[in-house]
Structure 1
């Protein structure tokens, strides 16, 4: 029996391992194309013709891909989607390098034909909001000339490595949403009305002290489930705004001087160079940061609390916020940023 098994084993074929194939390097041109098409590099198309047609229920006449949106002839550059008001300006935009047009007229060139421009823009804005992965941040109630939106954008841009975006307040909500790229991590909007908030459906709402009762309550009610509101705890409308945000399923962070504030101002000290050092208690944690003289005036410490609260509520880096608040831009000496 043993000899039979031994003979069978000897007759079984020997399994040879397949020869290793030579791994060829990816050609440089292919590698560069992959990098440019990735999120980390290159400029991806903002809108394609078929996407616009699906959003607006329009008709495609010539395929195109646009990297930005132009609303006036002066804004047109190579690769623009031009929102045409007439046939003459549309043809001029195409001759100036526009990739395509959104028009109610039949044009001799790539375009998407729609029934009505304003309705089409509203539909594109809704499609842009639905496809975006960004945290929608709404600002309202800050005094004219306030730099809260600028500093907050700087802070979020640092924290997200260049993936923050701010809307142009002069365009209006619908047009601004049309210019939002789908891959942004943070999008900041300054709101003027509750209707804008309903169109935006914000995840994060930062309110200033000058917001009126009804507008603040209406914006807070539009917050998305799981979102957050950063509200002035010293305001007489805080309780109403807080209730509206909680009813919407959002968290609430109050900032101010009141002992009950989640982000409470403890002290401010002005240094010899004009820099203001702010000390605050953030949910039981003592923190201090500096405010650049050219960004903030005396008495603007509350705005810095709102910015810190927004970064905390959005899960972004507080260190990036401190650098933005102190106006750190390639300084030789290390600025006073944040201490715990």
Structure 2
């Protein structure tokens, strides 16, 4: 074997490699939660939904307002759980605690305390799940798979501690998403995550019903800086009117600030973005005196900006920017958050863009702009109501007329009572620059939306955007057509 081959095959030994393979032992769970272990066991995972339990899991029996997880302990054991975390004795191995919600947070704290990883916390009004996934994909590449993240949108008072409790002590990086509906919620979550790098993707009027203004939203998102570890870094957007507000909050928390965006003063600054043939973008950015060139597979200008946040974060976390470029080039859309489906319809195939999980005014505009740039014979927009806008709802919904017209949409299906304001605006006979009117239907629910689309008749070459708040249920529309995927 020559010297080069020997060097390639040499596998570095790390301190973490000497740790045992089990995620938790019964003794560790009891010590972390202050509970009492009944039986000796080791677990390889932690789960709170009995339907998702896999062999080797610890099942956490949480109690909510409408449901008590203790009712599903037997089902969890049947699905492969080796033990349960409970507040009453059960048949089978378990750790008995006084309150399972508090015990889960205690387990999360223990997981955070024992790991030597660099931890990244991500929040923002728009794009946090996609950015979290891209950061994770970037860091996973450069860490030999020793990275951990919160899955799906596990970003609340249950999802964050659950995600922390699942973190392998060998992890070199951890990436956690944090969401909120009200002031004070991120402050609690960031006290659990204790990030080394805290990222805010952008500020937009999501949850404005509860917070009252974008300034208040910025302050609520900036709570993430309060949990930063000493010497931590705040990654913030320059392309927002609230940049100085975020920067000042970060500095007050003792953070080093790294900014990203199109502004001349951005640390990670966009120089150029050229659309490529696959729908993504070729991006050139500046980081100090250095130039970065990489491809972003995800379509849309908002993903160009997201990529700057990813690159700035990977750099701040000590990751590999080359690996980040490869990850961004290979990223595919997430279910409900940009996945693209090719479905069979009369005359060929149609493109369905699945953005059914979430919606707010900023993300609606961004995805409609993306639809307008998508090559298509006809463009169809299925738009569900945007929730948690309060008294601002009619105005924000009516304002979607302009990006709809700008995207050259041929047919719009509006779903939900809140869309009345937009239907009224479109009913004025608005047309694009060439005088083409936008036809639309206003439906009460997803079922009616499916019927409207079937009556309209999708055909080969059509592009269909499906976007709305998750509670509207537009995932049902996507599922209807996904059955024809091919």
Pick the TM interval, shorter chain: 0.7 to 0.9
Deviations 1:10-32 (A, max 9, x none): xxxxxxxxxxxxxxxxxxxxxxx
- Residue in structure 1 matching 2:304, options 291, 301, 310: 301
Structure 2 contact 268–285 (Cα < 8 Å) conserved: yes
Task: Report whether the alignment pairs 1:160 with 2:143.
Answer: yes
Matched residue SS, 1:241: helix
- Residue in structure 2 matching 1:49, options 26, 45, 60: 26
Deviations 1:169-210 (A, max 9, x none): 335222222222221111111111322122211111111122
Match of residue 177 from structure 1: 164
- By how many angstroms is 1:328 displaced? 7.6
CA distance in 2, matches of 1:272, 1:173: 38
Matched residue SS, 2:192: helix
Match of residue 175 from structure 2: 188
Match of residue 319 from structure 1: 322
Matched residue SS, 1:147: helix
Matched residue SS, 2:110: helix
CA distance in 2, matches of 1:227, 1:297: 31
Distance 1:320 1:123, change over 3 A: same
Structure 1: which 5+ runs fail to align? 1-37, 330-340
Matched residue SS, 1:137: strand
Deviations 1:7-65 (A, max 9, x none): xxxxxxxxxxxxxxxxxxxxxxxxxxxxxxx9569981111111111111111111110
TM-score normalised per structure 1: 0.78
Q: Which moved more, 1:305-314 or 1:206-215?
A: 206-215
Q: Which has the larger radius of gyration?
A: 1
- Residue in structure 1 matching 2:247, options 239, 242, 246: 242
CA distance in 1, matches of 2:310, 2:100: 37
5 Å-filtered alignment, 1:141-290, equals 141-143=124-126, 147-168=130-151, 169-170=153-154, 171-193=158-180, 194=186, 195-210=188-203, 212-290=217-295
Distance 1:322 1:95, change over 3 A: closer
- Residue in structure 1 matching 2:38, options 61, 75, 95: 61
Matched residue SS, 1:253: strand
Distance 1:265 1:116, change over 3 A: same
- By how many angstroms is 1:95 displaced? 4.5
Question: How many residue pairs are counted as aligned between the two chains?
Answer: 290
Matched residue SS, 1:265: strand
Q: Which moved more, 1:137-146 or 1:298-307?
A: 137-146
CA distance in 2, matches of 1:256, 1:199: 29
Match of residue 21 from structure 1: none
Match of residue 136 from structure 1: 119
Distance 1:143 1:62, change over 3 A: same
- Residue in structure 1 matching 2:81, options 94, 98, 101: 98
Structure 1 contact 43–67 (Cα < 8 Å) conserved: no
Matched residue SS, 1:197: helix
Match of residue 13 from structure 1: none
Deviations 1:104-159 (A, max 9, x none): 22233221111111121121111111112222211111525862222221111101
Distance 1:271 1:55, change over 3 A: closer
Distance 1:239 1:298, change over 3 A: closer
CA distance in 2, matches of 1:328, 1:95: 36
Q: CA RMSD in A?
A: 2.5
CA distance in 1, matches of 2:276, 2:80: 53
Distance 1:162 1:43, change over 3 A: farther
- By how many angstroms is 1:254 displaced? 0.9
Structure 2 contact 120–317 (Cα < 8 Å) conserved: no
Match of residue 33 from structure 1: none
Matched residue SS, 1:45: coil
TM-score normalised per structure 2: 0.56
Structure 2 contact 16–169 (Cα < 8 Å) conserved: no
